[in-house]
Amino acid sequence: MPTPPCCIAAIATASGPAGVCVIRISGEGAFEVADKLVPHAGKPCRERQGGTFFHADFHHPLTHEKIDDGLVLVFHAPHSFTGEDVIELHGHGGTVPSRRLLDAVLAAGARLAEAGEFSKRAFLNGRMDLTQAEAICDFIQAKTERIAHVARAQLDGALGSHINRLYDAMTAHCADIEHQLDFDEGELPDSFVRNTTTAIHETHTQIQRMIASWNTSGHLLREGALVVISGKPNVGKSSLLNAMLGRNRAIVHDAPGTTRDAIEEGYALEGIPLRLVDTAGLRDTADAVEQEGISRAHRLIQQADINLYLIDSTTPDMPPHTLDPSRTIVVFTKKDLAARPDADGSVAVSSKTGEGLDALGKRILRKLGVDAEQDITAIVNARHADELRLAHDATSHALTALTTTPCDLVIAANHLREAAEALGRITGRCYADDLLDAIFSRFCVGK
């Protein structure tokens, strides 16, 4: 079976009506493929200066039909996104024009790129590490300004540079210990084990801090938090959902049992994505449909990161003792009708006037352990956290081997190599094909 051409192409812009469509071509033969589409452009693409562009008519290489006109951007290796020769064709947007232009590029000798193949080539050619490649995906999919800020910093190397320092420190510790293996135990300097243990412990502590960034901020920014609004019927659950969203999402009515199923909406609070869920009123009922809604409400309360338990301020009700205080915020509603002072971590709000909503937002962030003013630039994702835990465990074993009597340098060195490999897999200094496939398969074809 013939080897597929190494020149790849794909549509790099979103589908649908648009002003411009970009076709990206990368790899050996990219210039020659482009020349077939612009036969009347004069100077061949390879002879043009990198970083320049020119206007041309685009022709199908087989039928010679003029299919569009636009700009041709020229990038010479290694000064391109992928590190290869790259051509970008900027034609008119729209589903049909972009497909016609891509078909012409493929007919000229390129093959359709696989998902994430442009970014994968950029990694393999040393244009970025794996944390930066993952940041591209995060940046494109960002749903809040805070997430975009973190992704942009990671794309600029904020996380990768930190991980690389840990990797270099770990390999240096390993090299120091392996160097001492050439000596008899009795020849070891008295201070060697003490100084080495101190240095490894510092690296171990830094790894702990990186893991903590996932536990305190990373998973919230990347996965969001489930915030469930619960309470008895008619306490204002749907009204609070509508007030927080700033629009009438849920039906509000005086009749008990109006909300019979969970209503979920996305909501950004100081850049933290939340899943706000309005639930059925908690009460005893003979209505089978309402019973199912109440059962779902109880399940959601058990799963919630934060449970907003609502109490009508005009009643003498108090929160039940069964609530989990670590995940619950008691909210007294209808503050405009009957003021109820904040107490024991509770918040009083009025969905009608908006009073107390800012205080509720701040209380939610505190309960989640988020500092709204903190400048977060180097937080890890789930894959990074898994590798950091492996490195943390391996480093712990190395420290144990060094601090037991007699110390075992061989065992310590083996564990430090394991730790270094785990750190290396985060940035791609150590990798296997299945790791790359797992990461880049999440990308769109044009990236």
CATH code for position 29? 3.30.1360.120
Single-letter amino acid, residue 249:
R
* pLDDT per residue of the chain (447 residues) written in tens, 0 to 9: 344 458 999 999 988 888 999 999 999 999 999 999 999 998 999 999 999 999 999 999 999 999 999 999 999 999 999 999 999 999 999 999 999 999 999 999 999 999 999 999 999 999 999 999 999 988 888 888 888 888 898 899 999 999 999 999 999 999 989 888 776 555 667 688 889 999 999 999 999 988 887 866 777 777 788 999 999 888 888 889 888 888 776 555 454 544 546 788 888 888 788 889 998 888 777 677 767 778 888 889 899 899 999 999 888 888 888 888 889 999 999 988 877 666 677 899 998 899 999 999 999 988 888 765 555 667 888 899 999 999 999 999 999 999 887 888 899 999 999 999 999 999 999 988 889 988 988 888 778
| Residue finishing a domain among 124, 156, 182 | 124
pLDDT at 1: 35
Q: Which long-range contacts (CB under 8 A, 24 or more apart) does 176-184 make?
A: 177/409, 177/412, 177/413, 177/416, 178/413, 180/409, 181/409, 181/410, 181/413
pLDDT of residue 373: 58
- Which residue segment(s) compose the domain that 364 sits in? 225-368
373 domain residue, yes or no: no
Residues 42 and 162 reside in one and the same domain: no
Residue 346 lies in a domain: yes
Instruction: Please indicate, yes or no, if residue 442 is contained in any of the structural domains.
Output: no
Say what the pLDDT of residue 370 is.
77
Query: Residue 438 falls within a domain, yes or no?
Result: no
Query: Has this prediction a pTM greater than 0.75?
Result: yes
| Number of domains composing the chain | 3
Q: What DSSP state is assigned to residue 316? A: -
436 part of a folded domain: no
Q: What is the pLDDT of residue 44?
A: 95
Q: How many Å apart are CA 189 and CA 180, to the nearest integer?
A: 9
Whether 115 and 157 map to the same domain: the answer is no
CATH number where 328 lies: 3.40.50.300
Same domain, 233 and 340: yes
